[in-house]
Amino acid sequence: MTLIHYIMLGVGGIFAYLIGSIPSAVWIGKSFYGVDVREKGSKNSGATNTIRVLGLLPGLFVLGIDAFKGWIAVYIANFFGRFYTDIWGMVSGAEYLTYYKLVLGVIAVIGHALPIYVGFKGGKGVATMLGVIIGIFEPLLPLILAIFIVTFVFSKFISLASITTSIAFPILYITCEHWLNYNIYIPLIVFTCMVALFIPYTHRKNIKRLLKKEEPKFRFKKTVDE
């Protein structure tokens, strides 16, 4: 691997972080509504709090942008990772590229949680993580969405749906290999387990409120006064 290969891989990581750092909820709130969503509601710069503070349409727009950030970070790996096809003859080009996509996806999620543009105060990364999953784990997407939707419909808690789905993620990946016809890679197993830990960790305050029965149920409308 030459120096230019390492440079290109590093540049890909920088791009992924800068893309992940785009604070869509903050910029949309301030630009069009004169509101910093980090100062209202749950004080989180994600789609759920954006809906609470600004309404459904801007919230869905934020959701789409945040998910796209994760997906595009995975996609650009096809460009920055194409300069090398194997690792010491032990890892195939396709497998190597999958790993690189995973790295850039994780970097994008970190960027969302710690955005350089707004003082490293970001969101929980659920939507951006969804974009990464769409880019790498596409065969599992229908099952992931089904678990999320069913949990949400019965509970009306976005937080509980996110936590439940994240915990089910590694189980689905490990058990559905033959049914959905994809290859299992050890690093991806590790990633799915990290998701199962990361999402509950970022929702620890929500978990406390759920246990105390103080977590507000989600409403498809603005519920916080500006």
pLDDT digits (tens, 9 = 90+) for 106-151: 999 999 999 999 999 888 888 999 999 999 999 999 999 999 999 9
Residue 26 to residue 118: CA distance in whole angstroms: 8
Distance set, CA 214 to CA 65, 164, 217 (Å): 29, 18, 9
Mean per-residue pLDDT, 149-155: 95
pLDDT digits (tens, 9 = 90+) for 66-99: 999 999 999 998 887 665 554 444 455 667 788 8
Phi then psi dihedrals of residue 195, to 5 deg: -60, -40
Judge whether residue 216 has pLDDT over 90: no
- The pLDDT tens digits of the residues spanning 161-192 come to 999 999 999 999 999 988 998 888 888 999 99
Helices within 36-176 (DSSP H only): 47-54, 56-75, 77-80, 93-113, 126-136, 141-155, 158-175
Q: What is the pLDDT of residue 226?
A: 52
Contacts of 217 (CB under 8 A, 6+ apart): 155, 156, 157
